[in-house]
Amino acid sequence: MHSLIIFASGRGSNAAAIIDHFKQNGKAAIALIVTNNPNAGVLAIAEQQHIPFLIVDKTSIKETLLIEQMADCKPSLIVLAGFMWKIPGTIVAAFRNKIVNIHPALLPAYGGKGMYGNHVHHAVLEAGEKETGITIHHVNEHYDEGDIIVQARCKVQANDTEDTLADRIHVLEHFYYPRTVEYLIG
Protein backbone atom coordinates (compact mmCIF):
# COMPACT_ATOMS: atom_id res chain seq x y z
CA MET A 1 0.00 0.00 0.00
CA HIS A 2 1.37 3.41 -0.96
CA SER A 3 1.63 6.14 1.59
CA LEU A 4 1.09 9.84 0.87
CA ILE A 5 1.76 13.03 2.80
CA ILE A 6 -0.40 16.06 1.99
CA PHE A 7 0.61 19.67 2.70
CA ALA A 8 -2.26 22.20 2.63
CA SER A 9 -2.98 25.65 4.06
CA GLY A 10 -6.47 26.63 2.99
CA ARG A 11 -9.91 25.32 2.22
CA GLY A 12 -8.48 21.88 1.46
CA SER A 13 -10.77 20.94 -1.42
CA ASN A 14 -7.90 19.37 -3.37
CA ALA A 15 -6.77 17.48 -0.29
CA ALA A 16 -10.36 16.27 0.14
CA ALA A 17 -10.54 15.14 -3.51
CA ILE A 18 -7.31 13.15 -3.09
CA ILE A 19 -8.39 11.64 0.23
CA ASP A 20 -11.76 10.58 -1.26
CA HIS A 21 -10.16 9.16 -4.40
CA PHE A 22 -7.78 6.87 -2.51
CA LYS A 23 -10.35 5.97 0.12
CA GLN A 24 -12.48 4.62 -2.70
CA ASN A 25 -9.82 2.71 -4.62
CA GLY A 26 -7.57 1.72 -1.70
CA LYS A 27 -4.33 2.26 -3.65
CA ALA A 28 -2.82 4.66 -1.11
CA ALA A 29 -3.30 5.78 2.45
CA ILE A 30 -2.80 9.34 3.65
CA ALA A 31 -0.20 8.92 6.38
CA LEU A 32 0.11 12.56 7.41
CA ILE A 33 -1.32 16.01 6.74
CA VAL A 34 0.92 19.03 7.32
CA THR A 35 -0.39 22.57 7.57
CA ASN A 36 0.91 25.98 8.62
CA ASN A 37 -2.60 27.22 9.37
CA PRO A 38 -4.40 26.14 12.57
CA ASN A 39 -7.69 27.18 10.92
CA ALA A 40 -7.14 25.29 7.67
CA GLY A 41 -10.20 23.44 6.39
CA VAL A 42 -7.97 20.44 5.87
CA LEU A 43 -7.69 19.95 9.65
CA ALA A 44 -11.42 19.30 9.96
CA ILE A 45 -11.05 16.70 7.23
CA ALA A 46 -8.03 15.16 9.00
CA GLU A 47 -9.98 14.84 12.24
CA GLN A 48 -13.05 13.44 10.54
CA GLN A 49 -11.00 10.88 8.59
CA HIS A 50 -8.68 10.07 11.51
CA ILE A 51 -5.58 11.14 9.59
CA PRO A 52 -2.60 12.27 11.72
CA PHE A 53 -1.68 15.91 11.23
CA LEU A 54 1.04 18.37 12.15
CA ILE A 55 0.78 22.15 12.41
CA VAL A 56 4.13 23.69 11.56
CA ASP A 57 5.48 27.21 12.05
CA LYS A 58 8.36 29.05 10.40
CA THR A 59 10.83 27.34 12.76
CA SER A 60 9.54 23.79 12.96
CA ILE A 61 9.14 23.50 9.19
CA LYS A 62 12.94 23.80 8.94
CA GLU A 63 13.77 21.28 11.67
CA THR A 64 15.20 17.83 11.12
CA LEU A 65 12.42 16.44 13.32
CA LEU A 66 9.87 17.17 10.61
CA ILE A 67 11.98 15.38 7.99
CA GLU A 68 12.27 12.41 10.36
CA GLN A 69 8.52 12.38 10.99
CA MET A 70 7.92 12.51 7.23
CA ALA A 71 10.48 9.79 6.51
CA ASP A 72 8.79 7.55 9.11
CA CYS A 73 5.70 7.62 6.87
CA LYS A 74 7.77 6.17 3.99
CA PRO A 75 5.86 8.34 1.52
CA SER A 76 5.66 7.37 -2.15
CA LEU A 77 4.78 11.01 -2.81
CA ILE A 78 4.41 14.30 -0.95
CA VAL A 79 1.48 16.23 -2.37
CA LEU A 80 1.26 20.01 -2.00
CA ALA A 81 -2.39 21.03 -2.25
CA GLY A 82 -2.58 24.77 -1.71
CA PHE A 83 0.35 24.97 0.71
CA MET A 84 1.22 28.65 1.08
CA TRP A 85 4.84 28.54 2.22
CA LYS A 86 7.94 27.74 0.27
CA ILE A 87 9.14 24.19 1.00
CA PRO A 88 12.58 24.38 2.70
CA GLY A 89 15.51 23.19 0.62
CA THR A 90 16.28 20.53 3.23
CA ILE A 91 12.90 18.87 2.58
CA VAL A 92 13.30 19.18 -1.20
CA ALA A 93 16.73 17.53 -0.92
CA ALA A 94 15.52 14.77 1.41
CA PHE A 95 12.60 13.86 -0.88
CA ARG A 96 13.95 14.78 -4.31
CA ASN A 97 11.51 14.04 -7.16
CA LYS A 98 8.94 12.93 -4.64
CA ILE A 99 7.19 16.28 -4.10
CA VAL A 100 4.48 17.57 -6.44
CA ASN A 101 2.46 20.77 -6.50
CA ILE A 102 -0.60 22.05 -8.31
CA HIS A 103 -0.76 25.58 -9.69
CA PRO A 104 -3.97 27.23 -10.93
CA ALA A 105 -2.55 28.48 -14.27
CA LEU A 106 -0.58 27.27 -17.25
CA LEU A 107 3.02 27.57 -16.01
CA PRO A 108 5.46 29.09 -16.73
CA ALA A 109 2.87 31.85 -17.23
CA TYR A 110 1.35 33.36 -14.08
CA GLY A 111 3.70 31.63 -11.65
CA GLY A 112 6.30 32.69 -9.09
CA LYS A 113 6.27 34.48 -5.77
CA GLY A 114 2.97 36.19 -4.94
CA MET A 115 1.11 34.31 -7.65
CA TYR A 116 -1.45 32.29 -5.73
CA GLY A 117 -5.22 32.05 -5.45
CA ASN A 118 -7.19 34.91 -6.94
CA HIS A 119 -4.00 36.89 -7.71
CA VAL A 120 -3.44 34.39 -10.49
CA HIS A 121 -6.99 34.62 -11.87
CA HIS A 122 -6.89 38.43 -11.60
CA ALA A 123 -3.72 38.53 -13.71
CA VAL A 124 -5.18 36.12 -16.28
CA LEU A 125 -8.32 38.28 -16.64
CA GLU A 126 -6.30 41.54 -16.78
CA ALA A 127 -4.20 40.12 -19.60
CA GLY A 128 -7.33 39.21 -21.57
CA GLU A 129 -6.32 35.56 -21.90
CA LYS A 130 -8.75 33.39 -23.83
CA GLU A 131 -7.74 30.24 -21.97
CA THR A 132 -6.17 29.25 -18.68
CA GLY A 133 -5.77 25.99 -16.80
CA ILE A 134 -3.82 24.02 -14.25
CA THR A 135 -0.27 22.74 -13.97
CA ILE A 136 0.86 19.78 -11.88
CA HIS A 137 4.64 19.84 -11.48
CA HIS A 138 7.56 18.52 -9.50
CA VAL A 139 8.84 20.78 -6.74
CA ASN A 140 12.42 22.03 -6.67
CA GLU A 141 14.13 24.85 -4.78
CA HIS A 142 12.42 27.57 -6.86
CA TYR A 143 8.77 28.63 -6.83
CA ASP A 144 6.74 26.99 -9.60
CA GLU A 145 9.81 25.96 -11.62
CA GLY A 146 9.98 22.17 -11.26
CA ASP A 147 9.39 19.88 -14.24
CA ILE A 148 5.84 19.95 -15.54
CA ILE A 149 3.96 16.64 -15.31
CA VAL A 150 0.44 17.51 -16.51
CA GLN A 151 -1.40 20.57 -17.77
CA ALA A 152 -5.13 20.85 -18.47
CA ARG A 153 -6.87 23.80 -20.09
CA CYS A 154 -10.20 25.58 -19.87
CA LYS A 155 -11.72 28.58 -21.62
CA VAL A 156 -11.89 32.03 -20.10
CA GLN A 157 -15.44 33.36 -20.72
CA ALA A 158 -16.10 37.03 -21.51
CA ASN A 159 -18.11 37.51 -18.30
CA ASP A 160 -15.74 35.61 -16.00
CA THR A 161 -14.77 37.01 -12.60
CA GLU A 162 -11.90 35.81 -10.43
CA ASP A 163 -14.38 33.64 -8.55
CA THR A 164 -16.05 32.02 -11.56
CA LEU A 165 -12.63 31.29 -12.99
CA ALA A 166 -11.47 29.85 -9.66
CA ASP A 167 -14.52 27.55 -9.64
CA ARG A 168 -13.80 26.29 -13.17
CA ILE A 169 -10.15 25.71 -12.23
CA HIS A 170 -11.13 23.79 -9.10
CA VAL A 171 -13.23 21.39 -11.19
CA LEU A 172 -10.16 20.64 -13.32
CA GLU A 173 -7.95 20.29 -10.25
CA HIS A 174 -10.26 17.87 -8.46
CA PHE A 175 -10.38 15.65 -11.55
CA TYR A 176 -6.71 15.69 -12.54
CA TYR A 177 -4.80 15.89 -9.26
CA PRO A 178 -5.90 12.55 -7.71
CA ARG A 179 -5.47 10.77 -11.04
CA THR A 180 -2.02 12.24 -11.61
CA VAL A 181 -0.93 11.23 -8.11
CA GLU A 182 -2.18 7.71 -8.81
CA TYR A 183 -0.29 7.62 -12.12
CA LEU A 184 2.92 8.80 -10.43
CA ILE A 185 2.86 6.24 -7.63
CA GLY A 186 2.14 3.54 -10.21
Instruction: Give the nearer residue to ligand GRF in terms of CB position, either 65 or 160.
Output: 160
Q: Does 122 bind ligand GRF (CB under 6 A)?
A: no
76-95 residues near ligand GRF, rule: CB under 6 A: 81-82
Instruction: Give the nearer residue to ligand GRF in terms of CB position, either 12 or 178.
Output: 12
Q: Does 173 bind ligand GRF (CB under 6 A)?
A: yes
Instruction: Give the nearer residue to ligand GRF in terms of CB position, either 23 or 74.
Output: 23
Active site residue 103: yes
3-22 residues near ligand GRF, rule: CB under 6 A: 8, 10-15
Q: Does 178 bind ligand GRF (CB under 6 A)?
A: no
Catalytic residue, candidates 103, 121, 138, 170: 103
Q: How far apart are CA 18 and CA 37, in angstroms?
A: 19
Instruction: Give the nearer residue to ligand GRF in terms of CB position, either 31 or 120.
Output: 120
What's the min distance (Å) between Cβ of 65 and ligand GRF?
26
For the chain, the DSSP string reads: -EEEEEE--SS-HHHHHHHHHHHHH-SEEEEEEEES-TT-HHHHHHHHHT--EEE--TTGGGSHHHHHHHHHT--SEEEESS--SPPPHHHHHHTTT-EEEEESS-TTTT-STT--HHHHHHHHHHTT-SEEEEEEEE--SSTT-SPEEEEEEEEPPTT--HHHHHHHHHHHHHHHHHHHHHHHH-
- Using CB under 6 A, list all residues that contact ligand GRF: 8, 10-15, 81-82, 102-104, 169, 173
Residues classed as catalytic? 103
